[in-house]
Amino acid sequence: MPIAAALLSVAGLAGVAVVAPILTARRLTSATPVVYGASLVFTSVLLVSGLLGLLGGSAFQGVLHLPVGLPWTGAHFALDPLSAAFLVIVNFGAVVASIYAIGYGAHEEEPGRVLPFYPAFLAGMNLVVLSADAFGFLVAWEFMSLSSWALVMAHHHEAENRRAGFVYLLMASFGTLMLLLAFGLLAGPDGDYAFSAIRTAEHVPWIAGLVLVLMLLGAGSKAGLVPLHVWLPLAHPAAPSHVSALMSGVMTKVAIYGFIRVVFDLVSEPAWWWAVIVLILGAGSAVLGVLHAVLQRDLKRLLAYSTVENVGIVFIGLGLGLAFKTNDMAGAAALAVTASIFHAFNHSLFKSLLFFGAGNVLTGAGERDIEKLGGLVHRMPETAYLFLGGCLAISALPPLNGFVSEWLILQAILLSPDLPQWALRFLVPASGAMLALAAALAAACFVRAFGITFLSRPRSPTAETAQEVGRWQIRAMYVLFGVCLVAGIFPGPFLDALSPVSQLLVGGAMPKQPIVPHFSIIPISESRSSYSGFLVFFFILMASWAAIRVIHNFASRAVRRAPPWDCGFPDASPATQYTADSFAQPIRRVFGPLAFRAKISQTLPPPGDMAPARLNLTLRDLVWEFVYAPIEGAVLYAAERLNILQFLTIRSYLSLVFAALVLLLVLVATWA
Amino acid sequence: MGLILDILVQGVQMVLVLALAPGLVGFTRKVKARLLRRQGPPVLQPYRDLLRLVRKEAVLADNASWLFRNAPYLIFATTWVAAALVPTFAAGLHFSWAADLIAITALLGSARFFLALAGMDIGTAFGGIGSSREMLFATLAEPAMIMIVFTVALVAGSTQLSTVAAFMVDHSTLRVSLGLALIGLIIVALTENARVPVDNPATHLELTMVHEAMVLEYSGRHLAVIELAAALKLLLYISLIACIFAPWGMARPDDGVAGMAIGVVTWVGKLAIGGFLMVVFETAIAKMRVFRVPEFVGGALMLGLLGTLLLFVSRSF
């Protein structure tokens, strides 16, 4: 039974987490490979269980009731197509992260702060996906949050990381509280919290609506939806790079899993207006996330903001799925949901790949600030090649996988004029435009990220003396890039594998993807649209090969190396190059006034005055100013006012206790 | 037998677009020169230029990377594949369902991605400025293109260009949404091909330049391949506009050789008319400042969105 194997592996991971402190306390150099190697083995087993559960049909799925946890309920676990799909996403990311970490972990200065929490974090994520009752789900969720918090705080000597950890802890506890309330509202008859009981319960429309809002707050804050994303660009970059990859690539997917599980599976009757909220949040996250990303100087923070964008894209797909599902358009809903889960999978691949690349840059060149990098393509050729692959995939360019999932979402949007609600009819094309804008901005963002970091001339001595990293890191990245390529060229089997998931969620599935006519995929029907990643890839390969052969054989293949031309006035100083800031300047100028209230002021000293001229640029984070700053202010204000409570006499305390008691009694009396 | 014939027709299309692209550029240059009362170079001059460039040795900057050397071929290959997938003289080509209009747009996006990276490889200020502006224009032109695709797809019920062309021939009526889409597509085409008023293909060493700044460090065969890709892109966009908005004369899948011949003749005629109109427009208008361009291209985005919204309101617009 895959589920038993999966749970045993989770127990194994927990065991590794317990043993790890003993190994690191003895300062064994083998601790790092042992912990990551063991994590690799256990997550591989989990990956295989997930694959069996997804592809093997109902024979490999199942439920398990264990007498652990709360004494009177026990713990429920289940492996159904949805949890199997996310088990695959989680553990594929975990397997490659473990491979990567075998090499990367050797550079860790304080392994004792990372090694025990890494397997615990993996165990927590797997338990969230496997749990089939609210209690187990919440405990696993909190376990996942706390162990990842510990990993964020691994390098706590830097004040920035401590702040990141603090904000993350706050947002994570807030999120868990919201989930707690959501599950409280969902409870089945007689307060039964098993998912099977929740499914059978009838939910009043306003209760169900409240559950949606709470899920958006709880799971959305973990996934990084705007405006709950503020912790994400702080916390994800603070962790060691393989953990950043897991947090961005995988943990956000666990949050998406929680949202899908509750909203598509557990709640009995979703309403059409839910799609409106989800679409607005998704489209807003997609555009704001990438606008932030395009302006970042810190490579890892840039990647974290781009996660916000991709989560937004996934939520656009889910919103479309809700819209179609509530209007009984099962085929369209299946397309939207499949596309968005496929995008979640794709994002876990290329975001891990990019974070690994950033980790290589960090170890190889010792720098995260892209303004101080440059020219790494010569010093770190393999990292550059693989990072470029990740950039192509995340920018939704054919023939890689990011394009396929975004293409499918666009195809789903084209089915939406049949929706009866006017609000959706206006909102869906607008979110399509936002999706296209986000994709185009992502391309600009990653041209900048790759071009400034890896191309051009080194901007600092550290970049000049960068070193390529070890084999383990490169191997892990090759695996990821390979899967990106395969998922882009042969997406059909991946979509077919997701059909039981969409059957479970919306009661329909995409048409079976044909294998023969050149591996093309067909969202609805062949006359409407089709795309063959294989043919596109094959044609590009053949065309470039033919061009090279013809020119080299029949014309010239001579090459001469010379100083750069640069219109006749090359300047040897690397400072004359375009910088990351100057690259983003036009985009900032066009989108900045609206999105960031960007203001530029110049102070030019009068002639004769030797003072330097100054250019001041202010960008405002509106989400922080309008959502978080008021809350922060209110909390501080209340804390100051309530401060007097600390300095009362014993009589005043006693009377306060008495008053509270009376108040509670009155409440109980009126309630009953 | 049918399959071989299909592949043959597809091959003819691939060769034809490649063969005609420099001619189209030469034709537009000639017309532009005549409109300015200059003699102008011969129509065949771009072919001679390409031949000359290809035969020369390639001069690479000292710090050029493998990306710089390989990017021209990738740019050329993606553009060529995209151009081969647009129905030109015949609809329903054998491989036309390999990619729909969204995928063709994204293929051009791949070409642009590599071109922008190549511009940044040497680390000169010109390359960076060109790449940065190209990506800025693309952030508006690409969503505009997607919205135009939406408009067309909602009218024709497909994003597949062959189906769209067939639909337009059978149901040719004037529609507001299609009018908006046409204007939007022309704006996108001017932007993507670096034509006046967005960029000036005839100048070098001007600080407003975009496309020419990115390819400044290229020489020899690499430059030739990039120039050919640019010519292919121009041909692609004119063919695309013709295919969607004036698909008459295009051969149907079951037409014989005669139908194909008619298709080729009408297609060449459409290319000539399209190129001529573009040059007349270019001659009549001045180049914009760089930061006016986002408003211009943003206009296309708004037109596309408006067209789509109209169709969401009612399918009859």
Residue of A nearest to B295 (CA): A590
Predicted pLDDT of residue A26: 82
Predicted pLDDT of residue A518: 67
Pick the residue of B85, B101, B135, B151 with the most A CBs within 10 A to test the interface with A by mutation. B135
CA distance A178 to A171: 11
Taking an 8 Å cut-off on Cβ atoms, the answer to whether B116 and A457 are in contact is no
- Could you tell me if A329 and A337 are in contact, meaning their C-beta atoms sit under 8 angstroms apart? no
Taking an 8 Å cut-off on Cβ atoms, the answer to whether A433 and B63 are in contact is no
Q: Of A655 and A25, which is predicted with more confidence?
A: A655
| Residue B116 neighbours by CB under 8 Å, 6+ apart | A447, A451, B130, B131, B134, B135, B214
Q: What is the mean pLDDT of residues A595-618?
A: 88
For residue A162, the distance in angstroms to the closest alpha carbon of chain B comes to 35
**With contacts defined as CB-CB under 8 Å, which chain B residues touch A283?**
none
> Band of the pLDDT at A667, cuts 50, 70, 90?
very high
> Band of the pLDDT at A110, cuts 50, 70, 90?
confident
- Could you tell me if A264 and A325 are in contact, meaning their C-beta atoms sit under 8 angstroms apart? yes
Taking an 8 Å cut-off on Cβ atoms, the answer to whether A444 and B136 are in contact is yes
Taking an 8 Å cut-off on Cβ atoms, the answer to whether A397 and B62 are in contact is no
For residue B195, the distance in angstroms to the closest alpha carbon of chain A comes to 20
The burial class, CB within 10 Å (0-12 / 13-18 / 19+), for A206 is exposed
**With contacts defined as CB-CB under 8 Å, which chain B residues touch A548?**
73
Provide the residue type at A509 as one letter: A
Predicted pLDDT of residue B92: 75
Both tokens of residue B93? 């080509």
- The values of phi and psi at residue B60, to 5°, are -110, 140
Predicted pLDDT of residue A517: 67
Give me the residues of A, 584-623, that contact B with CB < 8 A: 584-587, 589-590
Q: What is the DSSP string of A423-488?
A: HHHHHHHHHHHHHHHHHHHHHHHHHHHHHHHHSS--SSHHHHT-----HHHHHHHHHHHHHHHHHH
Predicted pLDDT of residue A522: 82
CA distance A236 to A117: 15
Quote the pTM value. 0.95
Interchain contact A580–B (C-beta under 8 A): no
Give me the residues of A, 498-537, that contact B with CB < 8 A: 517-518, 520, 526-532, 535-536
| Strand extents, DSSP E, B11-66 | 58-61
Percent of chain A with pLDDT over 90: 72
Mean pLDDT of all residues belonging to chain A: 92
CA distances from A18 to A13, A46, A98, A141, A537 (A): 9, 19, 17, 19, 47
Per-residue pLDDT tens digits for B151-191:
999 999 889 888 898 898 888 788 899 999 999 999 999 99
Both tokens of residue A278? 């989800």
Predicted pLDDT of residue B126: 87
Percent of chain A with pLDDT over 70: 99
CA distance B185 to B223: 28
- Could you tell me if A148 and A125 are in contact, meaning their C-beta atoms sit under 8 angstroms apart? no
Tally A–B CB contacts below 8 A. 280
Please say if the pLDDT value at position A515 is more than 70: no
For residue B192, the distance in angstroms to the closest alpha carbon of chain A comes to 14
Please say if the pLDDT value at position A302 is more than 90: yes
Predicted pLDDT of residue A646: 86
- Angle between helix B125-156 and helix A580-595 axes, rounded to 10 deg: 40
The number of C-alpha atoms within 13 Å of A668 and in the hemisphere containing its C-beta is 6
Is the CA virtual torsion A208, A209, A211, A216 positive or negative?
Answer: positive
Per-residue pLDDT tens digits for A538-557:
999 999 999 999 999 998 88
Per-residue pLDDT tens digits for A325-358:
999 999 999 999 999 999 999 999 999 999 999 9
Closest CA relative to residue A480, chosen from A32, A94, A107, A104: A94
- Of B76, B123, B135, Cβ closest to residue A447: B135
**With contacts defined as CB-CB under 8 Å, which chain A residues touch B103?**
398, 403, 407, 531, 536
Give me the residues of A, 288-327, that contact B with CB < 8 A: none
Per-residue pLDDT tens digits for A6-50:
999 999 999 999 999 988 888 777 889 999 999 999 999 999 999
Its ipTM equals 0.95
Predicted pLDDT of residue A30: 84
Per-residue pLDDT tens digits for A384-417:
999 999 999 999 998 899 999 999 999 999 998 8
Q: What ranges in A131-240 are assigned the alpha helix state H?
A: 134-152, 159-186, 195-200, 205-223, 232-238
Both tokens of residue A432? 């399509």
Please say if the pLDDT value at position A462 is more than 80: yes
- Could you tell me if A324 and A336 are in contact, meaning their C-beta atoms sit under 8 angstroms apart? yes
Predicted pLDDT of residue B204: 64
**With contacts defined as CB-CB under 8 Å, which chain B residues touch A389?**
none
Predicted pLDDT of residue B205: 58
- Could you tell me if A231 and A171 are in contact, meaning their C-beta atoms sit under 8 angstroms apart? yes
Predicted pLDDT of residue B228: 96
Provide the residue type at A459 as one letter: R
- Could you tell me if B169 and B192 are in contact, meaning their C-beta atoms sit under 8 angstroms apart? no
Please say if the pLDDT value at position A663 is more than 60: yes
Mean pLDDT of all residues belonging to chain B: 91
**With contacts defined as CB-CB under 8 Å, which chain B residues touch A397?**
106, 109-110, 113
**With contacts defined as CB-CB under 8 Å, which chain B residues touch A441?**
139
Instruction: Give pLDDT < 50 ranges for chain B.
Output: none
Predicted pLDDT of residue A70: 76
First to last CA, chain B: 44
| Residue A589 neighbours by CB under 8 Å, 6+ apart | A598, B291
- The values of phi and psi at residue A601, to 5°, are -130, 140
Predicted pLDDT of residue A514: 75
- Of A532, A556, A560, Cβ closest to residue B54: A556
Provide the residue type at A388 as one letter: L
Cis peptide before B197 (omega within 30 of 0): yes
> Band of the pLDDT at A516, cuts 50, 70, 90?
low
- The values of phi and psi at residue A560, to 5°, are -125, 135
Least confident range from A149-158, A166-175, A523-532: namely: A523-532
Per-residue pLDDT tens digits for A236-265:
999 999 999 999 999 999 999 999 999 999
CA distance A497 to A119: 28
